[in-house]
Structure 1
Amino acid sequence: MLHFLNVCSLICAVCGSKILGVSLTPSYSHQVVFQPLWKELSLRGHQVTTITAYPLKDPKLVNLTEIDLSVAQLSNQNIKKLVGVSQTNFIYEIYHMYTLMANVLDQQLEHPPVKQLIEDERAKFDLVIVEYLWSTPLAFATRFNCPYIGIISLDGTNTIYRKIGNPTHSSLYPDNLLPFGDKLSLFQRVISFIYEFGYDVYLEGVLQEMEQKVVHKHFGGHYPSIAEMARNMSMLFVDADPIFHHNRPLVPGVVQIGSGSHIAAAKPLPKELSMLDNATNGFIYFSLGSNIKSEFLSLPTIKMILEVFAELPYTVLWKFGEDIPNKPGNVIVSKWFPQRDVLGHPNIKLFITQGGMQSMDEAIYFRVPMVGIPIFFDQPHNIKKMVNRGFGLELDRNNLEKNSFKTTILEVINNPRYRNTLTELADLAQDQPMTGLERAVWWSEYVIRHKGAKHLRSPLLDLPWYQYLFLDVIAVLLLGLLAVLWFLVFTFRLLIKLIKWKIPTVSNEKKSS
């Protein structure tokens, strides 16, 4: 009975908590992972306030208050620049993206409802859940002096893992911003090591300085450094799982919420797509995601793609921002398709994708094999992992050629091994005692109940870098070895001297005799 009362008191203590969710990336695909969490926490009786560029706007969620940041977006011009930069090198690509986002974050924090919340002295929260692709939003937890959880709509970068004290290894777990996948050659391992070292020594400081300026501007110059705020994070939720992502050791403060648990079951397609129900040969879905638009492709490339589609015996849905004159009769274009419902349709044969994590999550969930045409950031990494695991093939967007494009599409559709491999892996990924959403809710309430999770803090955060690298141990062993060698040399020299002293003495005695 006493145990029951204790459990009841814990439940009551957590019910009705005030939670602030901060998800500032102006990209719909990034927000779809977070939206089910905001919804579920509000349905469990918590008072949830979110700052987001993509609010749910569901009047039935009476416990959910949303601050709409759709006023601050990345323009098509900026995205085109990123696409262009991605053809130079990935270091400059990262720097350019952070520069753009620093400006977007600055605009978002200038938004009157956000400024009003920051300046409201009566506002209090029991927990802050903050999207941790960027460090600036960590300041909200400092502002409200409460525990905070980081959440990411993809797997964590190695830099993010190190910030929460999770071990990393540049060869075993290459950073997901490197275009290498997870099976590295010797040359790639060298590049991975240099990248990790250079990022930590130089690039991380440059990027943090940009965000620190935004923090000081909007929250105050007295706020702690971004690095210090990151070290005090209670937990980190990552949209990953051990089947499709790195099977890596994780400290208790890192919780994987992947395997597509945020994905709802497919609904019937709208009337304008009802013809797909009777597509006896099946259909192909082609989309480059919510940020990259197919109309960014060059005109010769678009013409070549249409020629290939015209030769295929399949209906093709192509997410394209404008109508295409003289397109083949089997091609349907639209600015928007209900992607989950399209991927969940029984007649779909193939998904041609740029390799964004959320698009791949949905395709994996519905067991749809893929052809990947990666553009930037984690997309090359994701697509190469897909190829390594055997449920899709990759094409180079800079060398798209008609014959290889058509051959690759037909290979993935007609060879059952791609779909069979994907089905086997997806079954493994989803065979878990709790869904990712259930884990995220449980651990969120755990942090509220215990007012943080310092007891789960990784000891690596308190270990100096030279101790982590065993430099002090190596120094002691080397000194010990040097001491032994010195003793042996000293002893040997002493013996030599004694022998030399003894030999003349004996010689003199013989002469005197």
Structure 2
Amino acid sequence: MILHVFFGVIVFVHAGNAARILGIVPTPSYSHQVVFQPLWRELSLRGHQVTTLTTDPIKDPALTNLTEIDLHSSYDVWNKKIMVNILSYKENALVAIINFITQLIEIEDEQMRNPNVQALLKSDEKYDLVIIEGFMPAMSAFAVKFQCPLIAMVSTAGHSGLHNLIGNPTHPVLYPDVIYPYDEEMSLSQRISSVVSTFLFSLASSYGNSLQDQLMKKHFGSNYPSIDEIMGNTSMLFVNSDNIFHKIQPLVPSVVQIGGGSHLRPPKPLPHDLKEQLDNANNGFIYFSLGSNVKSKNIPMETRITILETFSELPYTVLWKFEAENLPNQPDNVIISKWLPQQDVLRHPNIKLFITQGGLQSSDETIHSGVPIVGMPFFGDQAANIKKMVTKGVGLSVEYTTLEKDDFKGKILEVIQNPKYRNRVNELVALVRDQPMTGMERAVWWTEYVIRNKGAAHLRSPLLDMPWYQYLLLDVFAVLLFCFAFTAYTFYILVRFLSRFIRRLLNNRDKKLK
């Protein structure tokens, strides 16, 4: 009897602490979704009732507290328009970003028309917390609808526009934007470029927010606050960064770093055939993958030919994530597969090198696995990530648009044969793991903190309530300049008066002497 009462109390207390959480991740990209999935899993295992809008459902029957609304159909627009355009786009970066923003709106609009999402919009459900992907701020309106706190979360370090929305200080030179490929000491021309780029990207971000506002009002109603107002009341911003891989940046308490391999899962055995192939790679193997967004089958033909010629001259087995059934002119030492368990491939003892596009999740995985890299960036933050890794000494990089066989082959052999690259990545592994708690533990703790306190208004940045001219000290400088000018003018008048007075005295004395 006593035992039954004890377990009853435990269940009651656990249920009393449980919350209803709505998680919304609209981007149809597995590299985005994989960052959020461990959070949904952990929150549901802790007894919270979690509902997610996602393009990549976990579909784990053991997660009985997790309800998933499947938006996988959004991949049609993502793969057929956005990713193909990125590989073939010839215009400047700003035009490409604007096109990217408008196509994201198309994806969101289609998702909002999903019958299950429409049912959620029209429901009288109650939620204690809404967590959204910060790149899609229109979804923040769900927090207004359900009158609950809001957490924004991003799968990268977070661009300057998001930091500005939550009141975290930004600086185009000290803390360049995540897509800018410089984070160490910059030259004057690079500093000018960063300032101009940050300004132009802020204009693009403002344009994007205006479209997000229109989308929000279309589906939620015209009486909703603006995107800037809703996001300005965000309780927390979770950024997928850490202090080892990313540049040190001051963060207000409402910005929480959850990076450092939060998405990593426990090791699993490789498929039998693949394991046998890698075990038999006597000279070791190279793993080549361009991630989940860039498809190797879609890269320019001249680039593919150069890659194949390079691989054919290497003494190593090459494992290539290639999304087609056949690879024309495939060398004997090259193995292709449409899908590969990347984390477990990187853990294999025979791996020598990872040729990567430089996505943040791939960068985390290679560092945690102690594998050096040759980077081949394509878009977004990839160039910046590869630049960081090269600067930190864990590899080298090539440009896919100007790829040459001799240069590519030379860099591959240099990274494999020179032990300094693997030694350096192992040093970073030790630093990354020497942390008081993991990024995911921080994410869970702060999520439940927001739930317990019904928000985090007490951690709101004072920068949000300060006019821009005060933040830039323009009023202070104006007063000081006025005081200086007034003092200088007064001193000038006084000197002028004294000069004339003395001159008059001297003239009178001279007249008397005559």
Which TM bucket (shorter chain)? over 0.9
C-alpha distance in 2 between matches for 1:102 and 1:261: 28
Do 1:180 and 1:380's aligned partners in 2 also have CA atoms closer than 8 Å? no
The residue identity in structure 2 corresponding to 1:303 is I
Q: Once the two structures are superposed, what CA deviation does each residue of 1:299-336 show, in whole Å capped at 9, x if it has no partner?
A: 33323322222222221111111111442222111111
Match of 1:286 among 285, 288, 307: 288
State the match for 2:171 in structure 1.
169
Match of 1:72 among 67, 71, 74: 74
Question: 2:85 maps to what in 1?
Answer: 81
1:443 aligns with 2:458: no
Percent of aligned pairs with the same residue?
A: 52
Return the letter of the residue paired with 2:142. F
Moved more, 259-268 or 28-37: 259-268
Range that drifts further, 68-77 or 52-61: 68-77
Change (3 A) 1:493 1:297: same
Deviation at 1:462, TM superposition (A): 1.1
CA contact (8 A) 1:94 1:377 kept: no
Task: Indicate the SS of the match to 1:252.
Answer: coil
Matched with 1:315 is: 317
Q: What residue number does 2:259 align with?
A: 258
Deviation at 1:191, TM superposition (A): 0.9
- Report the CA distance between 1:187 and its aligned residue: 0.6
- The equivalent of 1:4 in structure 2 is none
Letter aligned with residue 229 of structure 2:
E
Specify the SS of the correspondent of 1:224: coil
Indicate the residue corresponding to 1:140 in structure 2: 142
Distance 2:344 2:211 in 1: 40
> Is this contact kept in 1: 2:21–2:48, CA < 8 A?
yes
Please say if residues 90 and 377 of structure 1, whose CA atoms lie closer than 8 Å, have aligned partners that are also in contact.
Answer: no
For the aligned residue pairs, the C-alpha RMSD in angstroms reads 1.9
Distance 1:477 1:34 in 2: 49
CA contact (8 A) 1:251 1:458 kept: yes
Cα distance change on mapping 1:307 and 1:507 into 2, 3 Å: closer
Specify the code of the residue in structure 2 equivalent to 1:251: V
Match among 343, 346, 353 for residue 343 of structure 1: 346
Aligned to 1:267: 268
Flag the 1:500–1:280 CA change in 2: closer, same or farther, 3 A: same
CA contact (8 A) 1:174 1:182 kept: no
Task: Structure 1 unaligned segments of length 5 or more: list them.
Answer: 1-7
Distance (whole Å) between structure 2 residues aligned to residue 470 and residue 146 of structure 1:
35
Following TM superposition, the consecutive aligned residue runs of length 4 or more in structure 1 with deviations greater than 4 angstroms are 10-14, 507-511
Q: Which is worse superposed, 400-409 or 437-446?
A: 400-409
State the match for 2:457 in structure 1: 454
Structure 1 equivalent of residue 17 of structure 2:
15
Which deviations, in whole Å up to 9, do the C-alpha atoms of 1:75-102 show, x marking residues without a partner? 33431112222x4322122212111101
What is the CA-CA distance between 1:180 and the residue it aligns to? 3.4
| 8 Å Cα contact 2:56-2:70 kept in structure 1 | yes
Q: For each residue in 1:396-424, what CA deviation from the matched residue of structure 2 results, as whole angstroms up to 9, or x when unmatched? A: 10111111111111111111111110110
Tell me the TM-score normalized by structure 2: 0.94
For 2:207 and 2:150, the matched residues in 1 are separated by 25
Task: Find the aligned partners of 1:196 and 1:76 in 2 and give their Cα distance.
Answer: 29
Counterpart CA distance in 2 for 1:266 and 1:314 is 24
Alpha-carbon shift at residue 482 of structure 1 (Å): 1.2
- Contact 1:90–1:178 (CA<8 Å) still a contact in 2? no
Aligned equivalent of 1:58: 60
Task: Tell me the residue number matched to 1:502.
Answer: 505
Deviation readout 1:270-327 (Å, 9 max, x if unpaired): 0120221232211111111111101112233323322222222221111111111442
Q: Size of the alignment, in residue pairs?
A: 501
Give me the TM-score of the superposition, normalised by structure 1.
0.94
> Cα distance, 1:136 vs. partner?
1.4
Counterpart code for 1:371: V
User: Structure 1 pair 14/441, CA: closer, same or farther in 2 (3 Å)?
Assistant: farther
Corresponding residue for residue 397 of structure 1: 400
Q: CA deviation at 1:263?
A: 0.2
Query: What residue in structure 1 maps to residue 6 of structure 2?
Result: none
Q: Is the 8 A contact 1:170 1:192 kept in 2?
A: yes
Further displaced range: 486-495 or 375-384: 486-495
Deviates more, 1:178-187 or 1:10-19: 10-19
User: In structure 2, what is the Cα distance between the partners aligned to 1:183 and 1:95?
Assistant: 29
**How far apart, in 1, do the equivalents of 2:199 and 2:305 lie?**
44
CA shift at 1:13, angstroms? 8.4
Q: Does 1:233 align with 2:234?
A: yes
| Separation of aligned partners in 1, 2:432 and 2:65 | 32
**Residue 241 (structure 1) shift:** 0.4
Name the SS of the counterpart of 1:488 in structure 2: helix
| Equivalence for 2:4 | none
Q: Is the 8 A contact 1:48 1:65 kept in 2?
A: yes
Task: Give the aligned partner of residue 437 of structure 2.
Answer: 434
Secondary structure of the structure 2 residue equivalent to 1:317? strand
CA gap 1:11/1:175 in 2 versus in 1, 3 angstroms:
farther
Q: Structure 2, unaligned stretches of length 5 or more?
A: 1-9
> Is 155-164 or 40-49 further displaced after alignment?
155-164
